[in-house]
Amino acid sequence: MELKIDELAKCLQMPATTIERWIRQGRIPVKSSGDICMFSEAAIRKWARTNHLSFHLPGQAPAAEKQSESIETLSDIMDRGGIYYGLEAQGVEQVLEAAVFAMKNIDTRADRQMLYQSLVAREQMMSTGIGNGVAIPHPRTPLSQSSIASQMAVFFLKNPVDFNSVDKKPVHVIFILVATTSRQHLHLLSRLSFCLRDSYFLELLAQRPDAQTLSKTIAESEARLDGGK
């Protein structure tokens, strides 16, 4: 089966303009005949798996995810991802690249490149800048076939960067959120959103707290969420 650009965009749940850019950059397998571009379903399925992208034909449900994975806390995955200060870069893509290549718990350069491309693809669909100087970059789809462990890396930027956030305020801190399943991603995102709804937590982020203070505050917020206090 062969697909046109608009059909492929629906299968990947991405804008057609992103597909067109990937064609120009030589990043996606394509068959060209004059001005017409077509895509082999088999080749695209393989390419999507390699690049950890979701692909399914319209009306075809994605494969069900396992429900038995352990559900970790923000504190768990932040310990794994780390907290970083003074990240210096200009522009969203430059920030994402610098952050990914600074993360301590990714084994290979190939994994770093894959994560970076996944973050950029998500950002091109819609900004992850949620307002109040905060952004939550994350892949569009879980990195289930990657060797990258679930983690959250927190970066305080040396200089604020325009992420085209909903409130138009520049971003000074980013939480890179990586999960291996959609269930896990939603679980972790809901916990982080709970923290970010707290005005005290937002004020603390603006002060660039030390790692111990930030970790303690997040643990306390999770305890309240879980009914511990």
70 Cβ neighbours under 8 A, 6+ residues apart: none
Indicate the pairing of strand 36-40 with strand 2-3: antiparallel
Give the pLDDT confidence score for residue 228 in this predicted structure: 53
Determine the residue type at 141: T
CA-wise closest residue to 157 among 93, 89, 78:
89
Residue 195's pLDDT is: 94
Task: Please give the chain's pLDDT, 229 residues, in tens.
Answer: 789 999 998 888 777 887 887 888 788 999 887 788 899 998 888 887 776 577 888 666 554 444 444 568 898 899 999 999 999 999 999 999 999 999 998 888 988 999 999 999 999 988 999 999 999 999 988 776 667 888 999 999 999 999 999 899 999 999 999 988 888 888 898 899 999 999 999 999 999 999 999 999 999 999 888 875 4
pLDDT of residue 121: 92
**pLDDT value of position 67:** 42
Residue with tokens 């965009």: 9
Which pLDDT does position 163 carry in this prediction? 96
> Degrees (nearest 5) of the Cα angle 88, 76, 53?
70
Q: Residue 141: what pLDDT?
A: 80
The residues near 219 (Cβ < 8 Å, ≥ 6 apart) are 73, 75
**Cα R_g (the chain), whole angstroms:** 19
Residue 140 identity (one-letter amino acid)? R
Q: What is the pLDDT of residue 26?
A: 83
